C-alpha cells in the first residue's frame, strides 16, 4: 500500500515549510489526509501565503523551538535539509512512524520511467538539458527533484510511458534508494560538509542513486567514480578526451568531442553525433554537462532531437549569465557557484579575462585555500562579503591577491562596479551559499542583476 493511502487514517506531519514542504502539505491535503501538522522552527513561516492558506483549511501549526517535540507515530514527511537521523525522528521511527522525503513520496506513487542526476556541480544544467532532449524527441517528460517546483502535483498526468528526470541532492539521497533506469554521477568534490558528518557520508549518499539494474554514467577522468561501474551490466563514461587504444571494455560507451564533434565510442567503432559548437555555453564544465546529457538520452532520443535541444539551450539563470551593466563593463551573474570548486571552474571558463570578483556568503565548512593561486593569476581584485568574508580573507592573507572586505552585499557590489573600468568584467561567483542574507542563490543573483542595471 502506498504511503498516502496509509496516511489517510493517520496523523501526518510535514517537517520544514520551505518550497518543498508546502508542496508536500498541499499534496497530502488534496489526497485526502485529514489531520496534518505543519512543523517549522521559524514562526515567521506562518505568514507565508501558502502556509497561511493551509492553516485556514485546517492544518495544525507547530512552530518555534518545540517544533519537533511529541511528533505523531504516523507519516512524517521531511524537507531535504532536515537530517533523517535526528534523535526526535529516530525515536518516532521506533514508535512506528514512517519518515519519508518529498522524492520518496513521489517515487512511491509515480508510474513514470526514472532518469536521475547527481553530483557536486552541474546537476541542474544536465537535468534540464536531458529533459529538453527527451522533449525534442516527442516524449512525455517531467523534470524536477532538487530543480524547480515539486512534481507531486503532476502525478495524475503521468503514465508508464512518461519520463521523470530528477536532479537529486545528497540531502535527498541520504535515506533514499531510487531505482532509476539511468543515473549520472557527474563529479564528486567536497561540498555540504557543514551538514554531512564528513566526506564519506556525502559520497555514500551520492552513490545511493545507483539501483541494482541502473545504467551508471560517470566522468571518465574520475577513476574512483568509474569504479562504481565495475560489475554493472552497462556503464557509460563521458569525457572531453577520446579513449586511448585498448582502454574500452565490453559494455562501455564513451562520449567525447573529436575534432569539435560529439562522438560515441564503443567496441563496435565510433559514431559521430553532431558538432559540439551547437552548445552555446562556454567552459569545459558545460561541455561535460552536454556529454552527460547525451549519455543519459542516447538510444532513446534520436540524434536529431539531441542536436535540436542543444542548439536551443541557452543555459539556466545565475550560471555564468551575462547581465546589463555600466557602459563598457561586462557583468556576469554566477550566483549558483556555492563552492570554491565551482568558482574555479567559472574563472577557468572566463580566462584569460581577470575579473573583479565578488566572493562570500555563508560557508559550507570547505577550505578556501585552493583559491589562492588561481585568484593571483585570475582576478584583478576580490571583494569579500557576507558571513564568510573574514574566513576567506584569512585564507587569502599572505598571497599576492588584492582584496577588500565589505560585509554588506549591496555595498560590495556597488564597490566592485565603481572600481570597474571599460573593458573590465565584474563577476559574482561567491564560492559560498546565500543563506546568511538571502532566501537562496536566485534571490542573491537577482539583486546583483538589479544593482548592475541601476549602475548603467
Q: Residue with C-alpha cell 561541455?
A: 287
Q: What's residue 230's pLDDT?
A: 87
- List, by residue number, the catalytic residues: 123, 146, 192
What does the alpha-carbon distance between residue 213 and residue 445 come to, in Å, rounded to a whole number? 40
pLDDT of residue 241: 85
Pairing of strands 330-333, 321-323: antiparallel
| Cell 539531441 belongs to residue | 306
pLDDT computed for residue 6 by the predictor: 67
How far apart CA 265 and CA 350 sit, in angstroms, is 30
Element housing 48 (H / E)? none
Nearest Cα to Cα of residue 306 among 261, 269, 265, 349: 261
Q: What is the pLDDT along the chain (456 residues), one digit of tens a residue?
A: 677 776 666 789 999 998 889 999 999 988 989 899 999 999 999 999 999 999 999 999 999 999 999 899 889 999 988 999 999 999 999 999 999 999 999 999 999 999 999 999 999 999 999 999 999 999 999 999 998 789 999 999 999 999 999 999 999 998 899 999 999 999 998 788 788 889 999 999 999 999 999 999 999 999 999 999 888 888 999 999 887 777 776 567 777 776 689 998 887 788 899 999 999 998 889 999 999 999 999 999 999 999 999 999 999 999 999 999 999 999 999 999 999 999 999 999 999 999 999 999 999 999 999 999 999 999 999 999 999 999 999 999 999 999 999 999 999 999 999 999 999 999 999 999 999 999 999 999 999 999 999 999
Residue 1: what pLDDT?
A: 65
The crossing angle, in degrees rounded to 10, of helices 123-136 and 303-312 is 130
What SS3 state is found at 326?
coil
Q: Which domains does the chain have, with CATH numbers?
A: 10-101 (3.40.50.720), 110-312 (3.40.1190.10), 321-454 (3.90.190.20)
Q: Phi/psi of residue 206, each to 5°? A: -60, -40
The grid coordinates of residue 447 equal 539583486
Residues in the chain: 456
Which residues does residue 382 pair with via DSSP β-bridges, in sequence order? 357, 403
Give the CA distances from residue 250 to residues 229, 236, 247, 253, 318, in Å, rounded to whole numbers and listed in that order.
12, 11, 10, 9, 40
The pTM is what?
0.92
Helix, coil or strand: residue 374: helix
Please answer whether residues 252 and 235 qualify as being in contact, where contact means their C-beta atoms are separated by less than 8 angstroms.
yes
Amino acid at each position: 500500500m502506498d504511503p498516502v493511502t496509509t496516511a489517510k487514517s493517520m496523523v501526518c506531519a510535514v517537517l520544514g515549510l520551505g518550497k518543498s514542504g508546502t508542496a508536500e502539505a498541499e499534496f497530502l491535503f488534496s489526497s485526502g489526509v485529514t489531520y496534518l501538522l505543519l512543523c517549522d522552527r521559524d514562526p515567521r513561516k506562518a505568514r507565508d501565503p501558502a502556509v497561511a492558506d493551509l492553516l485556514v483549511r485546517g492544518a495544525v501549526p507547530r512552530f518555534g523551538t518545540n517544533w519537533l517535540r511529541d511528533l505523531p507515530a504516523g507519516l512524517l514527511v521531511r524537507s531535504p535539509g532536515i537530517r533523517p537521523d535526528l534523535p526526535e525522528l529516530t525515536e518516532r521511527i521506533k514508535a512506528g512512524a514512517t519518515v519519508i522525503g518529498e522524492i520518496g513520496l513521489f517515487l512511491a506513487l509515480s508510474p513514470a520511467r526514472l532518469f536521475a542526476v547527481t553530483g557536486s556541480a552541474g546537476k541542474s544544467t544536465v537535468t534540464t538539458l536531458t529533459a529538453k532532449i527527451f522533449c525534442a524527441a516527442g516524449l512525455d517528460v517531467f523534470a524536477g527533484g532538487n530543480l524547480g517546483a515539486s512534481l507531486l502535483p503532476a502525478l495524475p498526468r503521468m503514465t508508464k510511458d512518461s519520463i521523470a528526470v530528477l536532479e537529486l541532492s545528497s540531502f535527498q539521497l541520504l535515506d533514499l534508494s531510487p531505482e532509476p533506469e539511468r543515473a549520472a554521477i557527474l563529479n564528486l568534490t567536497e561540498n555540504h560538509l557543514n551538514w554531512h558528518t564528513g566526506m564519506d557520508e556525502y559520497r555514500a549518499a551520492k552513490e545511493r542513486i545507483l539501483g541494482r539494474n541502473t545504467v551508471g554514467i560517470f566522468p571518465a577522468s574520475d577513476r574512483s567514480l568509474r569504479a562504481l561501474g565495475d560489475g554493472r551490466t552497462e556503464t557509460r563514461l563521458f569525457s572531453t578526451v577520446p579513449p586511448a587504444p585498448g582502454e574500452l571494455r565490453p559494455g562501455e560507451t564513451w562520449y567525447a568531442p573529436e575534432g569539435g564533434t560529439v562522438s560515441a565510442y564503443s567496441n563496435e567503432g565510433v559514431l559521430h553525433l553532431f558538432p559540439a559548437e551547437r552548445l552555446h555555453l562556454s567552459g569545459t564544465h558545460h561541455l561535460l554537462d552536454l556529454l552527460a546529457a547525451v549519455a543519459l538520452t542516447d538510444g532513446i532520443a534520436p540524434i536529431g532531437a539531441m542536436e535540436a535541444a542543444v542548439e536551443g539551450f541557452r543555459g539556466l539563470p545565475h550560471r555564468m549569465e551575462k547581465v546589463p551593466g555600466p557602459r563598457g563593463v561586462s557583468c556576469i551573474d554566477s550566483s549558483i557557484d556555492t563552492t570554491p570548486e565551482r568558482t574555479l571552474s567559472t574563472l577557468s571558463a572566463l580566462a584569460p579575462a581577470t575579473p573583479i570578483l565578488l566572493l562570500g556568503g555563508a560557508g559550507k565548512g570547505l577550505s578556501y585555500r585552493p583559491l589562492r593561486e588561481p585568484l593571483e593569476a585570475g582576478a584583478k581584485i576580490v571583494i569579500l562579503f557576507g558571513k564568510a568574508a573574514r574566513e576567506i580573507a584569512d585564507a587569502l592573507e599572505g598571497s599576492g591577491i588584492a582584496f577588500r572586505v565589505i560585509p554588506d552585499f549591496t555595498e560590495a557590489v556597488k564597490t566592485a562596479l565603481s572600481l570597474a573600468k571599460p573593458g573590465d568584467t565584474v563577476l559574482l561567483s561567491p564560492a559560498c551559499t546565500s543563506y546568511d542574507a538571502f532566501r537562496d542563490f536566485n534571490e542573491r543573483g537577482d539583486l546583483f542583476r538589479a544593482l548592475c542595471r541601476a549602475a548603467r
